[in-house]
Amino acid sequence: MLTYDVRLYTIRKREGRRRPFELRWKVGSEGHSKSFVTKTLAIGRLSELKTAMKNGEQFDEETGLPVSELEALRAKEAPPEETWFGHAVKHVSMKWPDDSAKERSARADGLATLTPALVTDPRGGPPPRVLRRALSCWAFNFSPQKGDPPPEIAAALEWIAERSLPISRLDESDVIREALTAITLKLDGTRAADNTIRRKYSTFSGALRYAVERRFFTANPLSFIDWSPPETDSEIDWRYVPGPRQARELVDAVATLGTRGRHMSTLYGATNWIATRPSEAVNLRREDCHLPAEGWGSAVLAKTSPRVGSRWTDDGKTYEERGLKHRARNSTRTVPIPPVYVQRLRAHVEEFGLGLDGRLFQSATGGLVSTKEYSDVWKEARQLVLPPHQLETPLAETPGKLRATCVSGWIASGVDPTEVAYRAGHSVAVLFHFYAKVLNGRREQANELIQRFLDAEYGLESGPHLAHEH
């Protein structure tokens, strides 16, 4: 308890003691004393206490110290204040066990972009690319495969640890804006893509929410800043989605590229005919497929294997086996297979057999199909099918474009959007967001269906007259 009630007593000498000169004083109801070897030292301390009283300082009853000395003592005894860098490392460590490999990579990239902007003095720092790599691949990476950092990386990490701002400084508008500017730029100083800025803004916000959780702030500092990430139009650009006929020509062209081409053609067919994501298609297993001799079949999709790089997975593989995207870890999705693709799958199994764990598709060496192999074969097919003026555009640039071809075909044929969303592994909201133009194109068809209903219920009075009035 602090008080102005302070009494100072004369210095007394106590014979036979190693420190005979005792200074006594009383703060409130608590008595305090301190002994000195010489009287001069005792007088000096008495003078300090008198000065504090003259300056109008309160004294602490428990310790007997003037408030200025008490605050200095507490500051000295307190642990060093958490820095932004230290907090960011703790944030990544907390998230790492439950994050997917892609989430780990994205979080590390975002924090590695903005952390260099949150320093006390940027002068004398390591080259930007070295610092970015040090942060992304070591400081914000908790994989057991990462190993010890080379000397230049270790030096960069030491520099950022020493120069990082105290996290309390992120309560300042100017400091927050430095970080926001950083996420809008690439390493070469040019502006980053809008989607990239939004992703890194989300990462920054997440780290600051964790700071609120750790009681560094009472609210997310970003909520007080007049700044928003750019809006993005994530609707599919239909100029570069192949039509159904062109998509089939591309898939068939792959089959002309030798034995490996025939194998890959069926893999691309999964995206073209049943709208699997590429990471879902490579995990299709024979036991999960119903492939009758005639008619429709079905496939149970249970896993996805996105390629992310070995530094982000727990086992050091370049891909990560997880549950289906946007679904519970052990959920599945059953997708009907049209007869044309059922027959292709049956022929595929007969020619190539089964791969690892009963998979329908495998790499040339027997493992999971790699991203490089998946992309390279497709590039050859584009060269065979597309005319020169289309080769220079992003038309059918990746096999993933076949998924949009398939889904838009379902919509155009009149399949209920809820069923389309289920088969594609989307929510209905996502379907309407990405395929808005295709869905809008069904309005005339919908109007005709509604008109038939109205005619049946109300007769001719529901026709042109009411439509004109409306």
Residue 441 pLDDT level (bands cut at 50, 70, 90): low
Q: Residue 415 has which token pair?
A: 């399949």
Compute the distance between CA of residue 455 and CA of residue 459 in angstroms, rounded to an integer. Answer: 4
Q: What is the pLDDT of residue 468?
A: 41
Mean pLDDT, the chain, rounded, equals: 88
Per-residue pLDDT reduced to its tens digit, 1-54: 899 999 999 999 999 999 999 999 999 999 999 999 999 999 999 999 999 999
Determine contact, residues 53/140, Cβ cutoff 8 Å: no
Domain boundaries, the chain: 2-77, 84-224, 239-434
Q: What is the pLDDT of residue 390?
A: 92
Residue (of 101, 102, 103, 125) closest to 115 by Cα position: 125
Whether the pLDDT of residue 226 is over 70: the answer is yes
Whether the pLDDT of residue 412 is over 60: the answer is yes
Per-residue pLDDT reduced to its tens digit, 231-269: 876 667 878 889 899 999 999 999 999 999 999 999 999
Q: What's 239-434's CATH class?
A: mainly alpha
Q: Which residues of 279-315 are buried (b: 16+ CB within 10 A; e: fewer)?
A: bbbbbbbeebbebeeeeebebebbbbbbbbbebbbee
Q: What is the pLDDT of residue 121?
A: 95
**DSSP-derived 3-state class of residue 287:** helix
Residue 387 pLDDT level (bands cut at 50, 70, 90): very high
Cβ neighbour number for residue 36 with a 10 Å cutoff: 18
Q: What is the pLDDT of residue 206?
A: 97
pTM here is 0.66
